[in-house]
Amino acid sequence: MKTDEHIILYYFSGTGNAKMAAEWFKNEAFNRNMTCEIRVVTEKGKIEVPEKENLLIGFFSPTHGFNFPPIMLDFLFRFPRGKKSDVFILNTRAGMKLYKLFLPGLSGAAQFFTAFILWLKNYKIIGMQPLDMPSNWISIHPALRDKVIVSIVNRCERIVKRFADKLFSGKRVYKAFWSLPFDLAILPIAFLYYFIGRFAIAKTFYASFDCTQCGLCSKNCPVNAIETIDSRKFWSYKCESCMKCMSNCPENAIQTSHSYSIALWIILMSFLSPLFVKFFFDLNLEIFKESSWVSWLTEFSIEMLAFFIINIIAYRIFHFFMRFRIVNKIIEYTSLTKYWRNYNLKKTLRRMQKV
Ligand SMILES: Cc1cc2nc3c(=O)[nH]c(=O)nc-3n(C[C@H](O)[C@H](O)[C@H](O)COP(=O)(O)O)c2cc1C
């Protein structure tokens, strides 16, 4: 690695983990008098990459559903072809801590699919580093305690410094290969999350009556997924569930509705979806007489179609009824996110500095 190398770090971040990792990397570059700039990944717009000889490009992103989030994948697909420049990938995952034991998250396709895209675009992959930052998936579990977050973050900072050091001294780092067997095993889940799961999760958010319409959530949403319909917030299918809105809401008004989601899931699975399939079966279509897997695939596709249609209609109805204070309050008090800790890395670190 030459000291005249120019470094560009691209990042996408919901709650601050990937951004923080990019900042640590940048500090390491600055300590060595290298030029380094950080650029945030945006949904649209032209991607300009300088035509320099010694260019190192880094991609920092959270892992969503065992893959890079769609905004990041889309960015990579739009990324210009390279001239054999060096690139590295760092995905932040859901790190946890049990007593003194640091528990890792799982990358799934995040590293390998990204590396494959970049390789096809003529880049040389010199680093593949997963990083187990504190888990931010507050829709499914409370945020970790502040002390645990700080301890995980300190460990991660050391890992990023080591990673940068190695790359700067000309070594290659492929830590992502350590979890390859697990990553391969969960690929079907990554696939299902990308094509189905993320859309369901996008439709679980709402704003309670505590919302003051400050508009911060809509303004800061990286994919412009939060609309205002009838003076209430509405999450479109574009939502990536990155948790940015939830983690930054000054009134803590944005929640995940667990009661609505569970009720919908039960109605969908036990009643509506089978009804939909029966309707198609009764049409006596030729395709259902095909081999077992063709007929299975058709049935699965019909169920998924039912899922999307019902989900859209149900969320509209849900949104309509949320105008009534009593419904809004019932949903709010049956949302687990109301009771458990929120996650925002910067706010936690600020809080801990004051202690
Ligand atoms: C919707 C969603 C899906 C997630 N999926 C995974 C996953 O598949 N594997 C994992 O290790 N962590 C997963 N996480 C955790 C985040 O990747 C992790 O906390 C990351 O560090 C967050 O980074 P950010 O603060 O930059 O957004 C998920 C988080 C969310 C919100």
State both tokens at 109. 């396709």
Q: Is residue 244 in contact with ligand 1, taking CB distance under 6 Å?
A: no
Please give the model's pTM, rounded to 2 decimal places.
0.93
Section 324-349 average pLDDT: 95
Measured from the Cα of 131, ligand 1's closest atom is 21
Q: How far apart are the first and last CA of the chain?
A: 41
pLDDT at 3: 53
Q: Which residues have C-beta within 8 Å of that of residue 131, sequence separation ≥ 6?
A: 17, 21, 90, 91, 92, 93, 95, 156, 159, 160
Q: Give every strand in the sheet of 6-11, ordered side by side.
A: 35-40, 6-11, 55-62, 86-92, 124-131
Give residue-wise pLDDT tens across range 242-258: 999 999 999 999 999 99
DSSP 3-state percent helix, strand, coil across the chain (nearest 5): 50, 15, 35
State both tokens at 96. 């946890």
Length of the chain: 355
pLDDT at 296: 78
Using the predicted structure, report yes or no on whether residue 339 has a pLDDT greater than 80. yes
Distances (CA, A) of 117 to 64, 267, 322: 17, 40, 43
Residue 88 pairs in a beta bridge with 58, 127
CB-based burial label for 275 (10 Å; 0-12, 13-18, 19+)? exposed
pLDDT at 230: 93
Cα–Cα distance measured from residue 337 to residue 355, given in angstroms and rounded to the nearest whole number: 25
Q: Is residue 237 in contact with ligand 1, taking CB distance under 6 Å?
A: no
Contact 130, 173 (CB under 8 A): no
Contact 245, 217 (CB under 8 A): yes
Give residue-wise pLDDT tens across range 59-108: 999 999 999 999 999 999 999 998 889 999 999 999 999 999 999 999 99
Measured from the Cα of 241, ligand 1's closest atom is 1
Using the predicted structure, report yes or no on whether residue 169 has a pLDDT greater than 90. yes
Closest by CA position to 260, among listed 221, 328, 213, 318: 318
Q: What is the Å distance from ligand 1's center to 94 Cα?
A: 5
Mutating to test ligand 1, I would choose from 64, 107, 111, 152 the residue with most ligand atoms within 8 A of its C-beta, which is: 64
Measured from the Cα of 201, ligand 1's closest atom is 1
Measured from the Cα of 18, ligand 1's closest atom is 26
Q: Is residue 137 in contact with ligand 1, taking CB distance under 6 Å?
A: yes
pLDDT at 75: 96
Q: Is residue 273 in contact with ligand 1, taking CB distance under 6 Å?
A: no
Using the predicted structure, report yes or no on whether residue 236 has a pLDDT greater than 90. yes
Q: Is residue 66 in contact with ligand 1, taking CB distance under 6 Å?
A: yes
Q: Which residues have C-beta within 8 Å of that of residue 68, sequence separation ≥ 6?
A: 61, 76, 91, 109, 110, 113, 114
Residue with tokens 């999307």: 308
Measured from the Cα of 16, ligand 1's closest atom is 25
Using the predicted structure, report yes or no on whether residue 54 has a pLDDT greater than 90. no
Q: Is residue 342 in contact with ligand 1, taking CB distance under 6 Å?
A: no
Closest by CA position to 273, among listed 318, 305, 244, 234: 305
pLDDT at 316: 96
Q: Is residue 7 in contact with ligand 1, taking CB distance under 6 Å?
A: no
User: Which domains, ranges and CATH numbers included, belong to the chain?
Assistant: 6-183 (3.40.50.360), 195-346 (no CATH)
Section 183-197 average pLDDT: 95
pLDDT at 274: 78
- In degrees, rounded to 5, the angle at the alpha carbon of residue 176 between the alpha carbons of residues 36 and 157 is 50
What values do phi and psi take at 103, rounded to 5? Answer: -105, 135
Give residue-wise pLDDT tens across range 242-299: 999 999 999 999 999 999 999 998 988 887 777 877 777 777 777 666 667 777 788 7
Q: What is the Å distance from ligand 1's center to 17 Cα?
A: 9
Q: What is the Å distance from ligand 1's center to 81 Cα?
A: 28
Nearest CA to ligand 1 atom 2: 64
Q: Is residue 14 in contact with ligand 1, taking CB distance under 6 Å?
A: yes
Cα–Cα distance measured from residue 186 to residue 170, given in angstroms and rounded to the nearest whole number: 33
Closest by CA position to 90, among listed 35, 17, 199, 192: 17
Q: Is residue 311 in contact with ligand 1, taking CB distance under 6 Å?
A: no
Measured from the Cα of 11, ligand 1's closest atom is 26
Contact 113, 186 (CB under 8 A): no
* H helix or E strand, kind and range, residue 343: none
